[in-house]
Amino acid sequence: MASRSARPSRAAQTRPKVIVTRRLPQAVEARMAELFDVELNLDDVAMTPEALAAAAARCDVLVPTVTDHVHSGVFAAAAAGGRMKLCANFGVGVDHIDLAAARAANIPVTNTPGVLTDDTADMVMALILSVPRRLAEGEKLVRSGEWQGWAPTGMLGHRITGKRLGVVGMGRIGRAVAARARAFGLTIHYHNRHRLPGELEGELEATWWDNLDAMLARVDIITLNCPHTPETHHLIGARQFGLMQRHAYIINAARGEIVETEALCAALAKGTIAGAGLDVYEHEPAVDPRLLAAPGVVLLPHMGSATFEGRQAMGEKVIANIRVWADGHRPPDQVLEGWA
Ligand code: 8YV
């Protein structure tokens, strides 16, 4: 059991030194400048591992994003006489942060849950519509100038209504996706460590599958909405693709690392599955060239939560977490053991 987190010093309580690793929405940066002794990254270039460790030595609070690898050395630098006492992540996923090292250094990590749920679920729904109905191909055809006009057999895709959606991870985002998918006439199946309370399951008319393999074999569209953790790393690999139906589609707006890219490329190439809608990749921003070339694939640039409103709200959550911590209280979004 981790001991009590380090308390903010008196100086940190009044005006903590905050280092922000990327540009944030202007209003968020302005508010931070009012409240904190803030150091912004005006170039918006992701910091190197060395720069992150150096930042930990001279700030009270580090505000990283998904593009930073907040490695054990950052927490080691903070523990070895550095200043950093809080890691307030801008984003909900914390798989880029070494949580074990944070715990060992007694440094709380916070995130920004809740405020990007709807935006991300909307984007998942957009992919669920785009892949079977060939939206990206259609758009490309019109822009190419080669479209010959309507034809009875032109641009045929597959109907969404009546299909089975398999949601892997029924947290906030998974449930928001399920609610939207219900409105489009999909039936909801889900795999989650814990079964939803009966009332929620009833509302979504959702079927719980204790066994992921069994669900994968049964559904038409799979959406990954679980966090990336050691348990979910490469959760979907060659064996799992082999279980899916040949007409199935996979949607991933969670983390690229949940899917084994090699296996996904092979499944697409062999026609083991019909297509994929991806907003995230295993080695972002690199995208496997086989995915770029594969038909039936819609690719987005990690934009699930990219709304003005969402990013502003994320910034406000970061500020609230820092303020509550600086006041000597437990920050509201402190990430616990086995974050989910
Ligand atoms: C964020 C995300 O915008 O919050 C997350 O986990 O994946 C994104 O949508 C990003 O993480 C910002 O750090």
**Spatial CB neighbours of 187, under 8 Å, sequence gap ≥ 6:** 162, 163, 164, 165, 205, 207
Q: Out of 45-49, 76-80, 161-165, 288-292, which region has the weakest mean confidence (pLDDT)?
A: 76-80
For residue 229, pLDDT over 60 is answered with: yes
Distance 88 CA to ligand 1 centre (A): 13
User: SS in 3 state form for 47-108?
Assistant: CCHHHHHHHHHHCCEEECCCCCCECHHHHHHHHCCCCCCEEECCCCCCCCECHHHHHHCCCC
What pTM value is reported for the model?
0.93
Domain edges within the chain:
3-115+308-326, 117-299
Structure-model confidence comparison of residues 81 and 152, the more confident one: 152
Q: Among 70, 69, 18, 20, which Cα is nearest to 42's?
A: 20
Question: Identity (one letter) of the amino acid at 116?
Answer: L
* 280, 273 contact by CB (below 8 A): no
For residue 4, pLDDT over 60 is answered with: no
For residue 340, pLDDT over 70 is answered with: no
Q: What is the pLDDT of residue 82?
A: 79
Which among 305, 307, 321, 339 is the best mutation to test ligand 1's pocket, defined by most ligand atoms within 8 Å of the CB?
Answer: 305
Does ligand 1 have an atom closer than 6 angstroms to the CB of 65? yes
| The one catalytic residue among 284, 290, 316, 323 | 284
Q: Is 255 a catalytic residue?
A: yes
Name the CATH architecture for the domain at 117-299: 3-Layer(aba) Sandwich (3.40)
**pLDDT band at 81, cuts 50/70/90?**
confident
Same fold across 3-115+308-326 and 117-299: yes
Q: Is 203 a catalytic residue?
A: no
- Fold that domain 3-115+308-326 belongs to in CATH: Rossmann fold (3.40.50)
Task: Give the single-character DSSP code of 4.
Answer: P
**pLDDT band at 247, cuts 50/70/90?**
very high
Does ligand 1 have an atom closer than 6 angstroms to the CB of 305? yes
Region of 47 please: left (phi>0), alpha (psi -120 to 50) or beta: beta
For residue 339, pLDDT over 80 is answered with: no
Residue whose Cα lies nearest atom 4 of ligand 1: it is 91
Distance 316 CA to ligand 1 centre (A): 15
Q: Among 66, 20, 22, which Cα is nearest to 46's?
A: 22
Distance 295 CA to ligand 1 centre (A): 27
**Spatial CB neighbours of 114, under 8 Å, sequence gap ≥ 6:** 172, 317
What mean pLDDT comes out for the span 159-187? 98
What mean pLDDT comes out for the span 261-288? 97
* 85, 78 contact by CB (below 8 A): yes
For residue 336, pLDDT over 90 is answered with: no
**pLDDT band at 6, cuts 50/70/90?**
low
